[in-house]
Amino acid sequence: MSLAMKQQPSEEINLTPLSITKPQAKLYLSFMYVAFISLFIGGLMGLLQVLVRTGDFQLPLGIGYYQILTLHGVILALVLTTFFIIGFQYSLLGKTVGMSDKQRKLGWLSFWIMTIGTALTGTAILLGEANVLYTFYAPLKAHPIFYIGLALVVVGSWIAAFVNWHQVYVWKKAHPDQKTPLLAFMVTINMIMWVICSIGVAVAVLVQFIPWSLGYAETINVLLSRTLFWYFGHPLVYFWLLPAYMAWYAILPKIIGGKIFSDSLARLSFVLFLFFSIPVGFHHQLTEPGIDPTWKFIQVVLTFMVIIPSLMTAFSMFAMFETTGRKQGATGLFDWFKKLPWRDVRFVAPFVGMLAFIPGGAGGIINASHQLNTLVHNTIWVTGHFHLTVATTVILTFFGITYWLIPHLTGRKLTPRIHKLGIYQTIIWAVGMLIMSGAMHIQGLLGGPRRSSFSEYSGTEQAAEWVGYQTAQAVGGSLLFIGIVLMVYIFIDLVAFAPEGEEEYPIAEEEEDAEPTPRWMENWKLWIGITIALILFAYTIPMIDIIQNAPPGSPPFDGIL
């Protein structure tokens, strides 16, 4: 039998988006409300941080620096991202495979469990009982409510994952001979990765942190807790990034008047992200004692494998841009670049995010390199890298999604005024991040530490070199907060004040002459099996060693920050 006969046909039903009902839109919007409230609160905390680090600003009312640093990290890196992603993914599946009333009710259950968990965790931080930063490294101890709240957020997200999988299962059962719509395939991959990796942090919280914080255990295995966190912490980055890739692969082509370059290539890149995003946590622990260097080396090698699907994505995006431009009449080597819709904020915001991923990805290679990591590991370079990848690439893409998703859900129009304001917001964000992240990178190379408030370090000459860069970070951070205020205003306008009308939910079709997607691309047992095999290979022996040869456990350090 020829390969062509084993390939799946491209049926018209896969290209016809479904309608989103008002009850469904209400569910999706609820996640967005929490996300944008989190954006404002977390952004305000970030502004206060960079002002404090200039040495010229004191926090009022006895508020501690590490209190606002913890709230900034938790509410932006965990709450904003998770709520936006789940709301967005619910809408993607509602549009491509449908959502039943039963699935919608379970969606509400996931929302309320996550919201209650967020409220508990936030309360513990605001009361000053959880100054442990978003990584909550042991032996720093928070109030039990902090950990219980985090556990509820994870449980709620698992319910969302099972709802997503059930949506795809029901659709597939009704269409057994058709390939799963591309966006539904991508959501499935992302939630498989999320559930597998979040088991690590769930085990750490339920088995180690909660009993320890309640006083049932006197000590905690610090190395084990950090290893479980980073088993979760690195794929968490790809949980943030893959929804942005979904928009790049399947939404942006429609916005610019083009088509998906290759359905098969897009699916393969997501499968590779599933393989290589989880068994790589040790590259965050290269300076950590107690882990055999051989296993660190193996996980560094696996980390570099993630570069492959990233380069595949870059190739697909610019191939799609060029193909679209040439169809619109571009003839020269780079004339297609001029054909891109530079006045359409739905395109401009994600495109700027793509550009930021070039230096962000290069910085990631440095962070994962054993020798270079030694230079930058505990410096503010890492914070600058984080703000390029997540706070620029991911967040600007999320903003780009907001411009069409919110008016589609609310039955309103994206007006020329909001278009123009969105372009200004994107520019302000890009300039602010360039200044702040650039200063962080340079200060990091000069030895400036991360996780630290302002200090003159007893007047040392090296610390004096950092002050100018910390002032630049305050300038960039202030611009970013202006960008946040603008974005929140835009969100409120799109929800409540924009004129009523219809806004497109832009899902692209595949190129007519693209190769059909092979049937084996949806061999879920194979993909999950390979993923689990790689995880077992990378973690089984070192985890046994960490447990059997554990150093003495640590008692809690309470209130040290």
Point out the residues that are catalytic: 234, 238, 385-387, 450-451
Distances in Å between the Cα of 277 and the Cα atoms of 193, 233, 235, 272, 436 are 8, 10, 5, 8, 28
Contact 183, 250 (CB under 8 A): yes
**CB atoms < 10 A from the CB of 17, how many?**
16
- Residue 279's H or E segment, with its range, is none
**SS3 call for 215:** coil
Separation in Å, CA 64 to CA 312, 442, 453: 44, 26, 10
Distance in angstroms (rounded) separating the CA atoms of residues 331 and 226:
54
Structure tokens at 514: 């693209």
Q: Tell me the two tokens of residue 91.
A: 């809408």
Rounded Cα distance between 346 and 233, Å, is 30
534, 271 Cβ separation under 8 angstroms: no
300: Cβ contacts below 8 Å, ≥ 6 apart: 280, 282, 283, 286, 368, 369, 370
Q: In 10 A of CB 317, how many CB atoms?
A: 19
Q: Are 142 and 210 spatial neighbours (Cβ–Cβ below 8 Å)? A: no
Sign of torsion, CA 128 131 133 135? negative
Half-sphere exposure of 334 (CA within 13 A, CB side): 0
Structure-block tokens of residue 117: 């968990």
Give me 17's structure tokens.
């988006």
Which SS3 state, helix, strand or coil, does residue 151 take?
A: helix
- Determine the angle formed by the axes of helices 524-548 and 293-305, rounding to 10 degrees: 160
d(CA 169, CA 180): 10
Cα-atom radius of gyration of the chain, to the nearest Å? Answer: 23
Residue with tokens 């985890």: 543
Asked whether 259 and 511 are in contact (CB, 8 A), the reply is yes
The length of the chain in residues reads 561
Contact status, residue 288 vs residue 546, Cβ threshold 8 Å = no
Residues 226, 138 contacting (CB under 8 angstroms): yes
Q: Whole-angstrom distance between the N-terminal and C-terminal Cα of the chain? A: 66
- Close Cβ partners of 193 (under 8 Å, ≥ 6 residues apart): 235, 238, 239, 242, 273, 274, 277, 278, 531
